[in-house]
Structure 1
Amino acid sequence: MVGNTTRAAIISNRRITGLAAEVIAELIAEVGPLWHERHQATLTSRPRKRAVGAGAKHRLVFVDRLLATLVHLRHGATHDVPACWFGVDRSTITRAIGEVRPLLAERGCTVSPDVRLRALAEFVEHLGASGRTGIIDGTEIRVRRPAAGRKDRDRFISGKNKQNAVKSMVVTDGEGRVLWCSPTQPGSCADITHARQSGLVKLLAGGPAVEILADAGYQGLGAQTGGCVMTPPHRKFKKNAPDWYEEIYERQRKAHSSRRIRVEHGIAHLKNWRALTRHLGRREHMSGTVQAIAGLLSQQQAGDLSPRRQR
């Protein structure tokens, strides 16, 4: 078991969890009651021979469960590591992470203390109301190769990196702060297909006038969304292009790239959480892992901008 002194040291050191002590305190106050409510609902939902609360007690209190989950997400450590750290069995850590991670994923991404985005429709509505520019891009996360003989085994092979991966669509604002991450798709799914399947085209075609920057992988969405999605210019001359055209084309391409590059910074901050560099667990948990980390990162980014915390 982790003592109070060690627990306080973990919370106070941002390098361990990736979050400031103030953010962890907010998580405990927000997620703790939800965890206790679901735990009690699970206990009362099945037939029992003794009263709720009888029997063996949890060796891991909620704070330790949350810290174990944060350490696992931040450093990508196997469950054996926090199990030895907290003095419990590996299965206890596995169960704790399985309980806390969905609660973190459901929270959404924090834009400000009063605004939280949980769906793509809310992101589009937020851009329309604030008048800001959004940036989208896809990122791949390496996963274990599916077992031999499994149906659709080749769907996870990325055409770009030639590795088994899953893909998530990351949405940031013009400063690179994460606003939303989509559930994962197999690595063979193209970026533009992922955007269409998520409902982005329908939301932009009938929604507010917004500006979203994207790379060449999304070319074609501009015409389908009434110009809301802006991609690099098409190359008109494939061969023997005049010198004047090359100069104009390069200037336009670099201008678009310099505005869009902030999403790469946002993805880099996400990949600092080592669970997103290479996932060794179940692929079914990747969507929850990505969205949980996006929510934690966005809350920390919003906290860093808070005047109260900057003093």
Structure 2
Amino acid sequence: MLQELAPRWTTVRESALHERRGGARSRAAGAGRKQKLVFPDRLLATLVHLRLGLPHAALAELFDVDRSTISTAIREVRPLLAARGFAVPDRPGLRLRTLEDVFAYAEAEGVDLRIDGTEVQVRRPKAGRAGRKAFVSGKKKQNTIKTTTFSDHQGRTLFSGVTRPGRVHDQTAVRTEGIAEQFRLRPNVKVEVDEGYRGLANEFPHQVSAPPRKPKDDVCDGERRAWREQRRRQSSARICVEHTNAEYKQWRPLQRYTGRREDYDETHRAIAGLVSDRSARRATRRRTSTELVPVRTTTC
């Protein structure tokens, strides 16, 4: 990670210094005031902050620098981590950064996707601020920010983002990101979803699998048992993406986010990218079929 991010950080820093000076540097490289916190320490401080949620003041004591130095380091390194994208299983060096990349990868490799939304509680906006009610989640009854996660059949992160205020419905969030167009462009991609994406399942019945609808009250016991079994199997195929969202919640900032809401998307993508590095190293298992196979014809 040092080899990957150090050149990018140097480029961004030199660009900022060039813009501040208004021209090329007048002294040779290495001259002038020395940095109190070198890049490896800046990266380490950012990773500790993302993993444990330690305050900047506490990190300043650990690294024996001023609090503003830690704040600057996190503000510089966090965008680099967020821009890395998401690791791809069995494809070292390949990373997915957009929704288009995910669908292209799924079609090329024959991967069935799992989609699910997750919410993180955030601080309540100030009274009188425009759009204050947009963060109130109808499900959690709290001020939240919602993100959408895409995983494979083993729960390995392929993409996580599509950040929207908590009041936005799960399906609306991905529709505004253009997921319907991706289904039309790539008709071979299959997706497992929950009840919150019923509209997508109705629009793309051959690509999107949602839980079966509950039968009417007057159906026979055989059909009701078949419905329960189909629902259980669909849930079993989709539950891995719930485990993926649970991996993010092991990182302290995504248990309850106390920073600025404007920085949440960047923080989430940085953490999700780091989680994908670990999940991509899990070995690929053979996928088993969950199709119902009729043994004999029965009538009610």
Give TM-score scaled by structure 2 length: 0.88
Change beyond 3 A, Cα 1:304–1:86 = farther
Of 97, 102, 111 in structure 2, the residue corresponding to residue 118 of structure 1 is 97
Larger radius of gyration: 2
Alignment of 1:107 with 2:84, yes or no, is: yes
Matched, 1:149 2:117: no
How far apart, in 2, do the equivalents of 1:87 and 1:145 lie? Answer: 33
> What residue is the counterpart of 1:234 in the other structure?
213
CA 1:291 to 1:159, structure 2 compared with 1: closer, same or farther past 3 Å? same
Residues 102 and 292, structure 1, Cα contact 8 Å, conserved in 2: yes
For 2:250, give the aligned amino acid.
N
Distance of 1:191 and 1:46 partners within structure 2: 43
Q: How does 1:66-85 map to 2 (within 5 A)?
A: 66-85=43-62
1:296 aligns with 2:270: no
Whether 2:167 is the aligned partner of 1:188: answer: yes
> 1:236: Cα distance to partner?
3.6
State the secondary structure of the residue aligned to 2:162: coil
| Residue aligned with 2:147, SS | strand
Corresponding residue to 2:7 among 16, 27, 33? 33
Instruction: Name the CA distance, whole Å, in 2 between partners of 1:160 and 1:58.
Output: 48
Aligned to 1:268: 246
Structure-2 separation of matches of 1:178 and 1:63: 26
User: Shift of the alpha carbon at 1:240?
Assistant: 4.8
The CA deviation at 1:129 is 0.6
Q: Following superposition of structure 1 onto structure 2, how do residues 172-211 of structure 1 map, counting pairs within 5 Å?
A: 172-211=151-190
- CA contact under 8 A between 2:115 and 2:151: conserved in structure 1? yes
Q: Deviations over 1:165-208 (max 9, x none)?
A: 10000111000001001131100010010110111111111224
Question: How much has 1:135 moved relative to structure 2?
Answer: 0.3
Higher mean C-alpha deviation, range 43-52 or range 213-222 = 43-52
Greater percentage in helix: 1
Query: 1:183 touches 1:291 (CA, 8 Å); kept in 2?
Result: no
- Secondary structure of the 2:245 match is helix
Cα deviation, residue 304, structure 1: 5.1
Stretches of structure 1 that go unaligned for 5 or more consecutive residues are 1-26, 307-311
Deviation string for 1:257-302 (max 9, x for gaps)?
0010100111111111111111110001111111111111111222
Q: Count residues in correspondence.
A: 279
Asked whether 1:165 is paired with 2:168, we answer: no
Amino acid at match of 1:161: K
In the alignment, is residue 250 of structure 1 matched against residue 196 of structure 2? Answer: no
CA distance in 2, matches of 1:303, 1:61: 30
Rounded to whole Å, the distance in 1 between the matches of 2:201 and 2:136 is 28
Give the superposed CA RMSD. Answer: 1.7
Corresponding residue of 1:65: 42
In the TM superposition, residue 47 of structure 1 has moved relative to its aligned partner by 2.9
Aligned partners of 2:58 and 2:282: how far apart in 1? 30
The answer to whether the 8 A contact 1:205-1:224 is kept is no
TM-score normalised per structure 1 = 0.85
SS at match of 1:188: coil
Once the two structures are TM-superposed, the CA of residue 82 in structure 1 deviates from its matched residue by 1.1
Within 1, Cα distance between the matches of 2:151 and 2:272?
Answer: 11
